[in-house]
Amino acid sequence: MKRIGILTGGGDSPGLNAAIRGATLAAIRKHGTEVIGLIDGFNALFEDTGRPGVGTDSGLGSPALVRLGEAEVQDIHAFGGTILGTANKGDPFQMILRDEKGKPLRDADGKVLTRDRSGEAAQRIKELGLDALICIGGDGTLSLARSMFERHGVPVVGVPKTIDFDLAATEATFGFKTAVQVASDALDRLRTTADSHDRVLILEVMGRYAGWIALHAGIAGGAHAILLPEKPYDPKAVWKRITTRFRRQRKFSLVVISEGARPIDGAIAVAELREHPAAHVVLGGAGTRLRAEIEGLYAAEAEAVIAAGGYPPDAPEVRVVVLGHIQRGGTPLAEDRIVATACGAFAVDLAASGRFGTMAAWVADGPAEVPLEAALAPHFVDPETTPLVRTARALGISFGDQREADDDQ
């Protein structure tokens, strides 16, 4: 194995640089292999997207390709982000067609035009003499890697990166633990201000359609309600939970809501639609919608009490905090660095052994080989069987359904 490529794709995640470093050092020191970094994921195979400050003149005919040596990856394991850059629109099977000015071409209905250029990507990989391509990413990037392997025979090995923890066949995806810690720290800080002002504070966290961050952070941060994408919630149940606490003199409440959570008979909150056919919609607004639902129920209660000749009971103020990309940035936790480094290094071992179409998963206390097909199976919270859901219910945490006991935990 003379030369390999490394790319990072999808959303950035704490630990990406540790994975790049692990793969690069293992390739050079253990296997004597040259390492080429692809800037901005698969896009590097099609256009000049070089970033200043990454590597040196590679002599490979494109600033989107850089040579990675020991000097280039020295001490990067503690840094957030990725020195190679990343993109969530670099799909070789749906590359945007552009005019001479670089603007996307559109059809008569205004839809962005794309073309399958995966064959060109595969040919470019051959021309570069890459004996393997290490793809560090989540479900989107690894799905593309799998397709390139199955359709074009590209020798790929995956490394599990995602804060969402929505990859299967692995006990860890690096970035997840750091994101949970950031959300837990936020809850610790919100608790003191919520308690001081007798408020309900709603924390919206990332995770897309998987509720793992919300579930873990909610338990770690002492939330009183956790709302998951996998379990549509009843706004009345959430309102009842926080109202009971408030009127029993447990004045404040903390609610964690995943960005992909939705009410019963409601849709997922979308902040932005992207034009690229392969791009994900931008989720956002779940916390704001929940606030409106809760305040609407307080208003309806007050109106009914007034109509009956009574005086409406007190209701807490409700505030929303959207944690957003803070969960993706900054220094990765030690555990994420270990998983990233070990899986990055093991991915090179797999490549050296010709074990392509696989992923370097984290199993028990170390990396292990799993097929990409297994890694890409659905991995979501099961509201009925996931052990931590049962733990949360035992603590009296609400998931927004009516069957839960109305206690004062």
CA distances from 53 to 7, 13, 50 (A): 17, 20, 9
Q: How far apart are the first and last CA of the chain?
A: 59
Report how far residue 169's alpha carbon sits from residue 359's, in angstroms, rounded to the nearest whole number. Answer: 9
Strands, E assignment, 312-373? 318-322, 358-363, 366-371
Instruction: Collect all residues with Cβ–Cβ distance below 8 Å to 313 and sequence separation of at least 6.
Output: 247, 301, 305
Q: State CA 394 to chain mean position distance.
A: 28
Report how far residue 240's alpha carbon sits from residue 294's, in angstroms, rounded to the nearest whole number. Answer: 9
Q: Is there a catalytic annotation at residue 164?
A: yes
Residue 258, token pair as written in the block: 């995943």
Instruction: Collect all residues with Cβ–Cβ distance below 8 Å to 70 and sequence separation of at least 6.
Output: 24, 25, 28
Helix (H, G, I), strand (E, B) or coil at 263: strand
CA distances from 362 to 13, 294, 302 (A): 17, 41, 53
Report how far residue 13's alpha carbon sits from residue 15's, in angstroms, rounded to the nearest whole number. Answer: 6
The full length of the chain comes to 409
Nearest alpha-carbon partner for 179 in 200, 147, 208: 208
Q: State CA 111 to chain mean position distance.
A: 27
Sign of CA pseudo-dihedral 269, 328, 203, 184: positive
**What dihedral do alpha carbons 173, 374, 140, 207 form, nearest 10°?**
-50
Contact 260, 211 (CB under 8 A): yes
Catalytic residue among 12, 40, 139, 164: 164
Active-site annotation, residues: 164
